Structure 1
Amino acid sequence: MRQTVSTILTVLVVLSLVAPATAAATTAPAAAGVGAADAGHGISPAVQADCSFPFTATDATGTEVTVDERPERVTTLTPSAAQTMWEIGGKDQVVGVSQFALYLDGAESRTNVSAAGFGVNNEKVVGTNPDLVLAPNATPVETVDALRNSGLTVFYMPEAKTVEDVREKTTLIGQLTGNCEGAVETNAWMTQNVDAAENATADAERPTVLYPLGGGYVAGGDTFISAMINASGGSNVAAERGLSGYPQVSDEVVVEANPEILLVQTEADAKRYVTTEPYASTAAGENNRTVVVDQNYLNQPAPRSVVYAVRNMTNGFHPDADPAFVTRSEVEASANASAETSSADSTDEPGELTEQSPETPAAADGGETDAETTNTTGPGFGVAASVAALVVAALLARRS
């Protein structure tokens, strides 16, 4: 534990030197006249299949970025971008990934652009000779500037805190990489599963949930994790208490909040938290109630994360509910049928996910949360520390 605390302090000191990114609204026009907010809401993929180039959009640094033609080589700096590329059909375009994306099937054959410890190695990124670099907002803006100064085209993604944010980001990545049809299908799969969870739990009592990150940090409101809890029929007890971002809280606050369920990353975490103060003195500890979701899907704002996390959490929060979850293959079959004939039948029957099941996710080295610009409560807890809190989560996950 002493070594862990030392590591946490080191990370906090290092990240305190990183200036926060300047957030700017993304103004990417929709392909084929379809707005980003419409993607995934029953629109046929054929409607948005025409990804035209050159494509221009303003990224989260306020920079207007133009992609002249469909990129053949794409390097992703964080796993949420890589996961999105895998889901929308852009897997074969990806030539570089971070170490935390290696859980994706086939990712080990790509260049690992991670630096020792955390962050990316700029020379490795340049060495992948990418046509486009996708940099979600967990990437330090200094890294983006350095890569641009090396002559690379870099798009800095806005922060994703909600399902709608993930939907819009998926649409945008589809437009930037020429995978608009895949983005629509992916958004449809994600949206239908979120809707299924929300519909199945609409009239149910919402249990109070806390996601401890280790070192006294928790996931508060106005975060991707909190949005997943809400979509799954739970209530983030930290958000209820007015905490936002990833604050560090005292043992007394945890006991007073008295969560009914603890959201954790592994079975080992579940056993440890319910028997360790202050969590042992909460309703969750006393009743041994935990829900396990793999850290990849808790910490990476991307479509597969949404589907798998919401499915696992809904089943854990409401074991008696019967959400009509749909598989990716069912969504694709329905979309293809709709494109061919307006009278085609589609199924609402739930089934096993065609990708890796969320109940048995692949092991990974760590995680990511796009939370660099998150505001937090508490004295002295700023932007850099909110990133550190999620880094701490990855470190603690490795202990087990």
Structure 2
Amino acid sequence: MRRLLIVTIAILALTASAGPALAAGGAAPAASSGVQTPAQADSTCEYPIELEDATGEQLTLEEPPESIVALYPSDAQLVYSVGAEDRLEGMPMGPYTEGLETEGKTDITADDGVTPVVEEIIALEPDVVLAANVVTFEEDKLNQLRDAGIDVYVFDSSSSVDDVRSAVEITGQLTGACDSSDVTLEWMDERLSIIEGALADEPRPSALYAMDGEVYTTGTGTFQHEILTTAGVENVAANAGIEGWGIISDETIIDEDPEWILYGDDAYDEPPVSDAVGETTAMQEDQHFGVDANAMSQPAPNVVFAIEDIFATVHADAYGEVEADLEAADESYEESLADLQTSASDDENADEEDADSGNKSNANDSESEMEDEDQGENEGTVQDANESDDEDSIPGFGVPVALAAIAGLLGLRRL
């Protein structure tokens, strides 16, 4: 249990904050000048496309990749969110991607669902590898992949929901799925707008996001902090001056007296806090609950579900008023994705029909040309035959034989 939590903290929840932040969604940001983001570049899927990643590496793709590898769980979620999973050949498989359909994919990890194995990735010969910023803490693996001639795009670190949006948009560009990424972003924005409106006049109780019994938590400068505030609570870790990820003492927790305590539902069935914290309002009033750990810790579109979980529990009445609107947004999203899929399928069929039509047209033109040539040759033969009849005085021989020859050629052409 403890090891699973440490992996979650160290690999899945890395943010852009200073301090002990190490996770898969983002890391202490790699040095970068001009990192490509949607605000800095046209988000259309026109190839060739050139992007600069978080390490300053220039990545050029001449055409949409046919083979993709997602290095970490959040990368896999991003690929699925833009509908490019049909070209995803390798990804982490385990508890951090259990909500994704992995049939036909290759597990590129060391059987733990999170640690990439370079040899597995190289063997797949992908056109591009998408890598969360945490790979900058495994620079040897990054260098091995690039030395093998594999294009790797390293995402910038995520310190806000807007950073998550940027990652979605860039994933659309990298995979040639801009239409799908736009639909996903519209869905995220609609959900967030609904929740924001519902919380406009609501009080904001204090809350602690507890990761383990020490207690490890999230402060300002992290997208998890923004998840909490967007869901309608005040983050006691931020109030206590914690930046990034850090340990908050029992004394500080008691002083801050959170009204709610949240925790990842993958590792605990109850709040991972000491008995001393039992005197807080949250514990006294039994106001604590588990949140989807993957949605909470991976900087990808599912952060909207973590926000909804918190909003629905802490602000139950306000949630009840907009629950139908959120469901409608989800239905509209699914319909839009289905329409895109249908449109793409129709376009593909149309292209195939055009190709078939072109092939048939070329074949008919070729046949017509050959027939004209044959007819011209045979007309010459008929003329020669007539001349031969006149010359050789063999009545009726030349014309019938020539016509029979032409008919024979046309008959063979139809076979």
TM-score past 0.5 threshold? yes
List alignment gaps of at least 5 residues for structure 2: 15-19, 340-415
Q: Deviations along 1:128-152, whole A, 9 cap, x unmatched?
A: 2110000011223512222111110
CA displacement at 1:272 relative to structure 2:
4.7
- Note if contact 2:84-2:175 (Cα within 8 Å) is conserved in structure 1: yes
Q: How does 1:212-251 map to 2 (within 5 A)?
A: 212-214=210-212, 215-251=214-250
Aligned position for 1:80: 74
Q: The residue matched to 2:245 in structure 1 has which SS?
A: coil
Query: 2:267, 2:37 → 1: CA distance?
Result: 46
Instruction: Say which structure, 1 or 2, has more relative contact order (CA 8 Å, 6+ apart).
Output: 1
Alignment partners' CA distance in 1, 2:222 and 2:268: 22
- What RMSD in Å do the two structures reach over aligned CA positions? 3.1
Q: Secondary structure at the match of 1:247?
A: strand
Which residue among 46, 71, 94 is the counterpart of 2:88?
A: 94
Structure-2 separation of matches of 1:260 and 1:196:
24
Query: Matched residues in 2 for 1:122 and 1:267: separation?
Result: 27
Q: 1:22 pairs with 9, 20, 30, which one? A: 30
Tell me which amino acid in the other structure corresponds to 2:108: V
Match of residue 158 from structure 2: 160
Query: CA–CA distance in 2 between the matches of 1:197 and 1:6?
Result: 32
Q: Deviations over 1:252-311 (max 9, x none)?
A: 11211211111122298353547x4233121111111123221110111101x2221111
Verify the 8 A CA contact 2:50 2:61 in the aligned structure 1. Answer: yes
Distance change in 2, residues 1:270/1:255 (3 Å): farther
Within the candidate set 290, 293, 296, 1:298 is matched to 296
C-alpha distance in 1 between matches for 2:52 and 2:236: 36
CA contact (8 A) 1:161 1:222 kept: yes
- Displacement of 1:127 in angstroms is 1.4
The aligned counterpart of 2:54 is: 60
Residue 380 of structure 1 is matched in structure 2 by none
Could you tell me whether the CA contact under 8 Å between 2:128 and 2:151 is conserved in 1? yes
Supply the distance in 1 between the matched residues of 2:276 and 2:215 (Cα, whole angstroms): 10
1:25–1:59 Cα contact (<8 Å) kept: no
3-state SS in 1 of match to 2:275: coil
**8 Å contact from structure 2 (residues 209, 262) kept in 1:** yes
Q: Is the alpha carbon distance of 1:130 and 1:241 closer, same or farther for their aligned partners in structure 2, counting shifts above 3 Å? A: same
CA offsets 1:347-398 (integer angstroms, 9 cap, x no match):
xxxxxxxxxxxxxxxxxxxxxxxxxxxxxxxxxxxxxxxxxxxxxxxxxxxx
Offset, 1:153: 0.2
- Call closer, same or farther: CA 1:29–1:256 in 2, change over 3 Å: closer
One-letter amino acid of the counterpart of residue 72, structure 1: E
Partner of 2:251: 252
- Normalised to the residue count of structure 1, the TM-score between the two structures is 0.71
**Structure 1 unmatched ranges of 5 or more:** 39-47, 338-400
- What amino acid maps onto 1:212 in structure 2? A
**Aligned pair count?**
315
Structure 1 residue 336: deviation in Å?
9.5
Structure 1 distance, partners of 2:128, 2:118, is 14
